[in-house]
Structure 1
Amino acid sequence: MADPYVSRKDAAASYRPYNQLMSPGLQRAREPFRVRNAVTGTLLLAFAAGVWAYSVSAVKQDVFDDIDEEARQLARERERSLEEREAERKVAESAAKIESAPAAAVVQQAGVPPSMAGRGLLAPLLARRFPGLLDPATKTLVWGAPSVDSIGKLGDGRRHQS
């Protein structure tokens, strides 16, 4: 009667003859897909190379003569903005001096709410149709969302609530 067990040497040689290679069974299983995988890989590589070449050619600039002119123009714009800020500051100072004079009373009609641009179209429609869908405090779709008018910092708000 023959020995029912295969020797270790034969089993090791048939499973992985070398540490870094695939087993013969895995090689046979992958054989039908080699050509298709090679074609797909080649197409992906060609596409990536095409995108890279297009992006490089799109931003290529051979002539740099206009850079000095752009720098001068930016400096002029910066000077103009500084002059405008200085003029605004002077106007604010003169307005503060004039503020001591009595101001005329501003009369506002009682039934007219202050004019304010509306925000969005969906929230007012949903408030009329499905009032329970909106956050009751802020009348927004996202419950507990902070106001977009005062963004604040990342650490502000209800970060560590328990």
Structure 2
Amino acid sequence: MAYQWAEDDFDLPAGVGRLGLSEPVNNRKYIMYHGTTRKAAEAIQASGFRRSKDGMLGPGVYLSRDLQKASRYPIDHPEHDRVVIRVKVNVGKVIAINRQHHPRQKTWQDPRYGEVYDTAWVPPNCGMVKSGLEEDCVWDPNRIQILRTIKPQPVQSFGGCGYK
């Protein structure tokens, strides 16, 4: 069965920005998305986000301003059991990590390596993410406010006409 991910983004909270391909602006708030399983989404809603132990950008909460990016996660998990959590994030101080082996790729939040950042941003089409879609990693889960969950909707087909 085919699924689609629909999002009504007309109800943005006051002071919150829309998806753009430009770098997130320091100290702005954005709508972002986190893809996960239904069971994990329930746990996150009950007790909040927790930092991952590691990842492409080191420890943090991995999000994207792109719903299509988030809806792919977890990769290799059945789509009908995926959920995307829509959140509002104050990104704080942002660093762009725009290439593999960037000197701050995994140390952007560590004061031992220089300036400290709240969010690491991987620009779209920079070669770091296979899909070419942007990714964000937020160090402090307290910067993230859960708004709601989005579940995939089965695509309805109409007769044998090939329309969906």
Q: TM-score range by the shorter chain?
A: under 0.3
Q: Which has the larger radius of gyration?
A: 1
| Higher fraction of strand | 2
Q: When the two structures are superposed, what TM-score results if normalisation uses the length of structure 2?
A: 0.15
